[in-house]
Amino acid sequence: TLGFGMTTPATVAGKVFLIVYGLFGCAGTILFFNLFLERIISLLAFIMKACHERQLRRSGLLPPSFRRGPAMSEVGSLMGWKPSVYHVLLILGIFAITLSCCASAMYTAVEGWNYVDSLYYCFVTFSTIGFGDLVSSQNAAYQNQGLYRFGNFIFILMGVCCIYSLFNVISIVIKQVLNWVLKKLECRCCPKCHKSSARLGRRNAITPGARLRRHNISMDADGQYDSDTEGRRLSGEMISMRELTASNKVSLAILQKQLSETANGYPRNVCINTRQNGFSAGVGALAIMNNRLAETSDSR
């Protein structure tokens, strides 16, 4: 997906081959980037969790004889712990800057560009923008040409993977900031807005267990049902289509959660802030990030 443009297909057969091969090539490349993202986030999470565990030992919150394993469930300090997205952003940013500086030093020495142009080339290449105004390995001959092309390949591959991971972390931070801004802009003084948002929330979103909680509250408060609808539903009489749809959605949500926990082999520990700020879902790279990073609270 760089698309420098210095080499392009000229024949019809070459263009058709490029279209067909590009479908599988780009899909495989995205899969490779996602796998790299998953591994690098897992590695960072492991290292940061070890540092967090050492910090807890020094502060006396963990016993010195604590070891990873079955005893993990007995320690409340590390249950469900995940690294902060800001810490991962900082580490990936430092790694990307270091990699770009090293690559720029190589391009400056070999290609004859100044250092700023080399940094510009690294960003345009690693981010897959690929303007094509600066392209490496275009001279007729280089000193140690094979070694230089191998180093160029490694730098571009690692740089694209690193910047891809960094972009995904930045996208989660941007989404969190936007959610925070929307909460701040929410109208709190107009009761009509609250009523309309409450109606929309009840109509478009069904929370598993919400109907049961409302029923328990009404039983504790009045000793009887809030409406004839609940009474008819529990007495075995016919229910409305809306209630049937709502109950089915709740059952499907619970079933989906149980299937996910069974597939993973353990109940997924999700903090309250993760459920509230809308970061618990995602597709592709966002799903990988959300499953391995702790979503920070609204107060940060």
Q: List C-alpha distances in Å: 298 to 64, 94, 275, 295.
A: 34, 25, 12, 9
Which stretches of the chain are DSSP H helices? Answer: 12-59, 85-111, 115-126, 145-184, 191-204, 210-222, 228-234, 241-264, 272-276, 285-292
pLDDT at residue 266, rounded to an integer: 54
pLDDT at residue 49, rounded to an integer: 86
| Closest alpha carbon to 93 in 170, 149, 39 | 170
Q: Which two tokens stand for residue 248?
A: 């089915």
Q: What is the CATH number of domain 12-59+84-187?
A: 1.10.287.70
pLDDT at residue 70, rounded to an integer: 45
Vertex 49: Cα angle to 266 and 161 (nearest 5): 90
Max CA-CA distance within the chain? 89
Going from N- to C-terminal start, the domains of the chain cover 12-59+84-187
Cα–Cα distance measured from residue 248 to residue 235, given in angstroms and rounded to the nearest whole number: 19
Cα–Cα distance measured from residue 149 to residue 137, given in angstroms and rounded to the nearest whole number: 7
Cα–Cα distance measured from residue 243 to residue 231, given in angstroms and rounded to the nearest whole number: 12
Per-residue pLDDT of the chain (300 residues; tens, 9 = 90+): 899 998 999 999 999 999 999 999 999 999 999 999 889 888 988 888 888 888 888 887 776 665 554 444 444 455 667 788 898 999 999 999 999 999 999 999 999 999 999 999 999 999 999 999 999 999 988 989 999 999 999 999 999 999 999 999 999 999 999 999 998 888 665 555 555 555 555 444 444 455 555 555 444 544 444 444 444 444 444 555 566 566 666 666 666 666 566 556 555 454 444 444 444 455 566 666 666 666 544 444
pLDDT at residue 71, rounded to an integer: 44
Phi, psi of 114 (to 5 degrees): -75, 165
Whole-structure pTM value? 0.64
